Amino acid sequence: MRSSVQPRRGKGLALAMPLLLLRVGGAAVMMVMMVMMVMALAVPAVGAEPTLAEEAAFRMAVARVAGAVVRIEPAVGTRATLSAAAEAGGASGPSTGLVIDPAGLILATTFAVPEDATEAIVVLADGERRAAKPRGRDLARGIVLLETTPLPTAPAVEAVPRRDLAPGQWTIAVGRAWTAAEPSVAVGILSAVDRGWGLAVQTDASVSPMNYGGPLVDIAGRVIGVLAPLPADTAGMKLGTELYDAGIGFAVPLEDLRRDLPRLARGESLGRGILGISYRSRDEINGDPVLASVRHGSPAARAGLRAGDRIVEIDGRPVARIADVRHWLVPRHSGDEVELVIERQAAAGESARLTVKATLAATLPPWRRAVLGMTAVPEDDESAPLQVAWVLPGGPADRAGLSAGVTLMSIAAATDEALPPLVKPSAPALAGFLAGMEPGQRVLVTMEADGTPTQAELELAALPGEVPDTGPRGGPTMADPLTGPAEAVRVVRLEAAEMADPPLAVIPRGGRDAVAVLVYLGLPHGPVADGEAATWKAAVAESGVAVILPGSSDNRQWSRDDIPAVVRSLQSLHAKRPIDPARVAVAGSGAGGAFAWLVAERLGAVCRGIAVVDATMPRSFTIEPSQPGDSQWILLGAGSEPLQRRLEDDRRRLERAGYPVGSLATNADGAAPATVLCRWASLLGLL
């Protein structure tokens, strides 16, 4: 992301006059110089106010576009209720639009015209009201193209070329929602370009639902872009309205929108293009762009991409990190073709560069995780051969004869000769291979036991929703039948300088292998007491899973203010014992269960499992389709019948999106069972 100036609330109207000429075209320079000459004649030189010249320039810039700025009102009778629309980020009142073609084409946003709206009202500056209908939509940018009767008096708008945009130049946000008679104006600077992974530019001019859909113009009155409530997903903001009145606003460059205008005018809905890949690195910004998996049947698979390939160029632009890939791909629409140069490891450690083309897809079927039904012996060295640690009873690996101690030598797709076999796989490499397969596909497995290689063909299964009755055993201390839970675990405080009441942790003793982690959130009751660890000692000893027990800052409730402490506790635990990134789960009961959903949302792809008792998913949650590297195993449990009905609705929604969902029974006291939760957490990395 290119950003050299931070957003600010101060608008800087008293900057020195030379800054007024910064990055302004020739015509604009002449205009401003004329204003300065007039002011020099009208105002004495001593004590002259340069801000008066700035004000004149702002007025002239607004006047140039004002005739193209209209008020947009929701049509009476839209199928969306105001409350439902507001929850989804849709309209709850008037907003703004920009006439892009006097033939009657107007750009607005989904805030003003939600996806289920079939009509909107356009109000012109003279008060005339016209009906308009959605023609096309840019779903990724939240832009809607409306069509109404011709508007011959609307002025033509000039777009600022992207190449002329740079942080520091003046920006003026124009709206017409407060009243149709006069436009509203807010002044700021362009604080960043290429925000939202290349979808938008950023300004610190005041941007709100009232001027969404209006133009962001430069000092010459040229249109930089259309103001829109774009989400800031790297900050956990999903709807795009959360930054309202925060000194951060976004505009979709008009140059980009004009490029797609013919498709919108044809009535197309332009969805974000999907390639169908995941990465080995869990750092979504600076990670190396090496593929962990390629979705079966995806554009990437059809183009011939494979797990292990490294992306080095997209459409001639160099790629050094995952963020580069996202910057080049996110602005693309489904149906767009991209050219990728990839680096592929060949024999004898050599590599080759290949150029492939892929046509991006609008959607992919929900990804359902395919497994062999086994876990691997932890290895720090990824080049070491994979040794089976545990086999799921009745699973594909069990039926094929794999057992603990067997070495997996290779795995290949039985019916897809184009997919190369995976030889001497590590656990991460095997996980990537399986992520590109589907349940029901057949694979050929070569294994070795006592120096004798054998081969078996088996059918991959879907990750089960229900927790198996047995699971992997805990650490080395469990090999001694005389060792009890007290000797097999240790209880520590995860202290940090910024935490007055640090969480409690129950950690398995022995070894330095990475452990699975379960964060458990019970009823809010303030700081957690040492005695609360007793419930978990036996389960931790048996499973080898570390359990974190945070306390709430308020005795009566969990709040979003408690989330940073949970995140910090994971970091503190990792300093004491390495954490297996494929096995991190969050669970809770009652109010703790509701809070668990919020914690899981904050952790994002780090969280691989969510288990809740007597708590439903927040209604505001949007369930994204399951995909490799960003999918969870879900457990749901309930006591009362009304709650059970709501949880069944959650179950159906999650399963439709591809998530495995199981049931979670409760103990007599209504709490979640520690043994089952720890066993479940230990199996999150099932291969």
Q: pLDDT for 556-599, tens place per residue?
A: 999 888 999 899 999 989 888 889 988 999 999 889 999 999 99
What is the Cα gyration radius of the chain?
Answer: 29
CB 515 within 8 A of CB 578: yes
3-state secondary structure of 126: coil
Residue carrying the six token digits 């691997």:
376
Report pLDDT for 560: 87
Strand partners, 517: 546, 584
Higher pLDDT, 455 or 51: 455
Report pLDDT for 481: 41
Statement: residue 389 has pLDDT above 80: yes
Mean pLDDT of 448-461: 89
Q: In the CATH scheme, what is the code of domain 277-359? A: 2.30.42.10
Report pLDDT for 244: 58
Q: What value does the mean pLDDT of the chain take?
A: 83
Mean pLDDT of 17-30: 34
- Per-residue pLDDT of 127-171, as tens digits, reads 899 999 999 999 989 999 999 999 999 999 999 999 999 999 999
Considering the entire predicted model, what is its pTM? 0.71
Beta strands per DSSP E along 89-169: 95-101, 105-109, 120-123, 129-138, 143-147
- Per-residue pLDDT of 353-379, as tens digits, reads 999 999 999 888 888 999 999 999 887
Mean pLDDT of 496-521: 85
**Host H or E run for residue 359:** strand 351-359
Report pLDDT for 364: 86
CB atoms within 10 A of CB 164: 15
Cα–chain center distance at 208: 23
Residues 6+ apart with CB under 8 A from 663: 465, 466, 635, 636, 637
* 476-682 homologous superfamily: Alpha/Beta hydrolase fold, catalytic domain (3.40.50.1820)
Report pLDDT for 239: 54
CB 465 within 8 A of CB 652: no
- Per-residue pLDDT of 595-650, as tens digits, reads 999 999 889 888 999 999 888 888 777 788 888 877 899 999 876 677 888 888 89
Question: First CA to last CA across the chain, in angstroms?
Answer: 35
Statement: residue 381 has pLDDT above 70: no
- Per-residue pLDDT of 79-137, as tens digits, reads 333 333 333 334 457 999 999 999 999 999 998 998 888 999 999 988 899 999 999 99
Q: What is the DSSP string of 524-584?
A: --SSPPGGGGGGGHHHHHHH--EEEE---SSSS---GGGHHHHHHHHHHHHHHS-EEEEEE
Smallest Cα–Cα separation from 214: which of 194, 196, 203, 228? Answer: 228
Mean pLDDT of 483-508: 80
Query: ∠39-45-47 over CA atoms, to 5°?
Result: 100
Statement: residue 522 has pLDDT above 60: yes
SS (H, E, C) 588-637: EECHHHHHHHHHHHHHHHHCCEEEEECCCCCCCCCCCCCECCECCEEEEE
pLDDT band at 350 (very low <50, low <70, confident <90, very high): confident
Report pLDDT for 167: 94
Report pLDDT for 668: 65
The CA distance from 125 to 52, in Å, is: 27
- Per-residue pLDDT of 279-306, as tens digits, reads 888 788 899 999 988 888 899 989 989 8
Report pLDDT for 43: 39
User: What is residue 392's DSSP assignment?
Assistant: -
| From 144-148, 213-217, 382-386, 387-391, the region with the lowest mean pLDDT | 382-386
| From 160-164, 223-227, 412-416, 669-673, the region with the lowest mean pLDDT | 669-673
Report pLDDT for 14: 32
The CA distance from 351 to 355, in Å, is: 13
Smallest Cα–Cα separation from 232: which of 277, 187, 197, 281? Answer: 197
Mean pLDDT of 11-19: 33
Report pLDDT for 390: 93
Smallest Cα–Cα separation from 466: which of 685, 654, 680? Answer: 680
Higher pLDDT, 53 or 11: 53
Lookup: tokens for 139: 């779903």
* Strand 95-101 with 105-109, pairing: antiparallel
- Location of each CATH 2.30.42.10 domain in the chain: 277-359, 370-462
Mean pLDDT of 344-352: 73
- Location of each CATH 3.40.50.1820 domain in the chain: 476-682
Smallest Cα–Cα separation from 250: which of 171, 155, 316? Answer: 171
The CA distance from 171 to 158, in Å, is: 15
- The CATH T-level fold of domain 370-462 is Pdz3 Domain (2.30.42)
CB atoms within 10 A of CB 477: 18
